[in-house]
Amino acid sequence: MGGWLGNALQQLPQGLLFLFIMLLGLHFFMVDGAQLERWVVRQSPFPAEATHGILEQVKETCARTLLSSVLVSFTQSAILLVGFLVAGIPAPLVWFTVALLMAFIPI
């Protein structure tokens, strides 16, 4: 197989494996998150209060980064939607949705 379709099909099993591992890890972080946090506090060379402060800052940073990614993606897609409507492109909401999903893919 040649071309981009052949490459995509060759990389599909690896991508699915990575997706499975990520979802499995996410599941256990969600289920055992408090236990993981206690373990990190015990293993940290810093005092427990300092470690809790660091973990809180990490949580806040992650939440703000996710929120800003969502806002930027939505804004980009909304601008595209206006352009699609002005240009008269068929099915602008479909393309808006595609743009919104593609905006989350890092390049």
Greatest mean pLDDT among 4-8, 29-33, 58-62 lies in: 58-62
CB atoms within 10 A of CB 73: 17
Contact 44, 51 (CB under 8 A): yes
- How crowded is the C-beta side of 104, counted as CA atoms within 13 Å? 10
All residues at 6 or more sequence positions from 27 whose CB lies less than 8 Å from its CB, including other chains: none
Q: Which residue is it, tokens 């379709």?
A: 5
pTM to 2 decimal places:
0.65
pLDDT tens sequence across 11-59: 888 889 998 999 998 888 888 888 988 999 999 999 999 999 999 999 9
